[in-house]
């Protein structure tokens, strides 16, 4: 495997023919060496599915890198940038796998623990603080029910509260990423106006639904 600086990587990948093929082969070999170790935080090295996951991620990473070569700014080593892309793809795939067999209803159901933002999650001493927390949660649930459409509530709960990938939620809801993002943006605006009217802490509550 030949050593390349950042400019050489870009040049070789942009040059059709043997240079590009050699560069892609070297990137594949590099990722095959480092990616399994990098994923051990999330996947056991003894997991039989790891090998297939790594190969799928590498193939997707190479396609993504070729598509986004012009976005590389040279602030790091090129291989570090490629590795970062690979890890992000892998984590997205792992999250998607986690929710694969979960129904849309289960993905979009939120209980009281899901809807406990930081400002009410520490009740402190005494029954008064507990009562204030419970009142805030009841008001928030009521606002979500009254102010948002079913689709808006589903989207905010699945993406913002449950942390499910936007692409997976869009697929389950029969829409696309851009449309889902706009749906969530509109829902957040409706929530903001209602929270202002109710006198509830806006930033703390909206932070729950950033997604």
Tell me, yes or no, whether 187 and 129 share the same domain: yes
Which of 77, 98, 119 is at the close of a domain?
Answer: 98
Mean predicted confidence (pLDDT) in 98-102: 66
State pTM to two decimals: 0.53
> Does position 87 have pLDDT exceeding 80, yes or no?
yes
| Percent of the chain whose predicted confidence (pLDDT) is above 90 | 36
Residue 113's pLDDT is what?
44
> Does position 46 have pLDDT exceeding 50, yes or no?
yes
Residue 204's pLDDT is what?
52
Q: Is residue 174 part of a domain?
A: yes
More confident residue, 112 or 83: 83
Give the contacts of 105 (CB within 8 A, at least 6 positions apart): none
Tell me, yes or no, whether 74 and 144 share the same domain: no
Number of domains in the chain: 2
> Does position 75 have pLDDT exceeding 70, yes or no?
yes
169 vs 105: CA distance, rounded Å: 11
Q: Tell me which residue of 47, 26, 50 sits closest to 36, measured CA to CA.
A: 50
Tell me, yes or no, whether 30 and 84 share the same domain: yes
Average pLDDT, the chain: 80
Tell me, yes or no, whether 85 and 108 share the same domain: no
Residue 14's pLDDT is what?
95
89 vs 55: CA distance, rounded Å: 12
pLDDT band at 15 (very low <50, low <70, confident <90, very high): very high
Tell me, yes or no, whether 172 and 191 share the same domain: yes
Q: Which two tokens stand for residue 193?
A: 């106006």
Q: How many CB atoms lie within 10 A of CB 129?
A: 13
Tell me: the pLDDT tens digits for 146-189?
888 888 888 887 887 677 778 888 888 889 989 998 998 898 88
Residue 84, domain extent: 6-98
Tell me, yes or no, whether 85 and 149 share the same domain: no
Alpha helix locations (H) across 39-165? 50-67, 78-98, 104-107, 127-147, 150-155
Cβ–Cβ < 8 Å for 26, 3:
no
Mean predicted confidence (pLDDT) in 45-56: 91
> Does position 54 have pLDDT exceeding 60, yes or no?
yes
110 vs 107: CA distance, rounded Å: 8
Tell me, yes or no, whether 111 and 196 share the same domain: yes
Residue 164's pLDDT is what?
78
Cβ–Cβ < 8 Å for 120, 111:
no
The answer to which of 9-18, 47-56, 126-135, 168-177 has the lowest mean pLDDT is 126-135
């Amino acid at each position: 495997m030949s050593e390349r600086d950042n400019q050489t990587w870009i040049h070789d990948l942009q040059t059709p023919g043997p240079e590009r093929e050699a560069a892609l082969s070297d990137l594949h070999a590099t990722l095959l060496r480092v990616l399994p170790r990098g994923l051990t935080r999330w996947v056991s090295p003894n997991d039989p599915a790891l090998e297939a996951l790594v190969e799928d991620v590498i193939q997707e990473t190479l396609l993504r890198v070729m598509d986004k070569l012009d976005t590389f700014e040279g602030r790091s080593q090129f291989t570090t940038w490629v590795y970062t892309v690979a890890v992000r793809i892998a984590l997205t795939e792992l999250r998607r796998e986690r929710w694969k067999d979960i129904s849309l209803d289960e993905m979009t159901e939120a209980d009281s623990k899901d809807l406990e933002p930081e400002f009410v999650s520490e009740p402190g001493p005494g029954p008064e603080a507990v009562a204030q927390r419970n009142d805030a949660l009841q008001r928030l649930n009521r606002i979500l029910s009254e102010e948002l459409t079913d689709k808006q509530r589903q989207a905010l709960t699945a993406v913002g509260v449950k942390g499910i990938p936007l692409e997976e939620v869009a697929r389950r809801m029969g829409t696309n990423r851009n449309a889902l993002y706009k749906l969530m943006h509109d829902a957040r605006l409706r929530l903001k106006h209602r929270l202002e009217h109710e006198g509830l802490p806006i930033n703390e509550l909206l932070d729950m639904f950033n997604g």
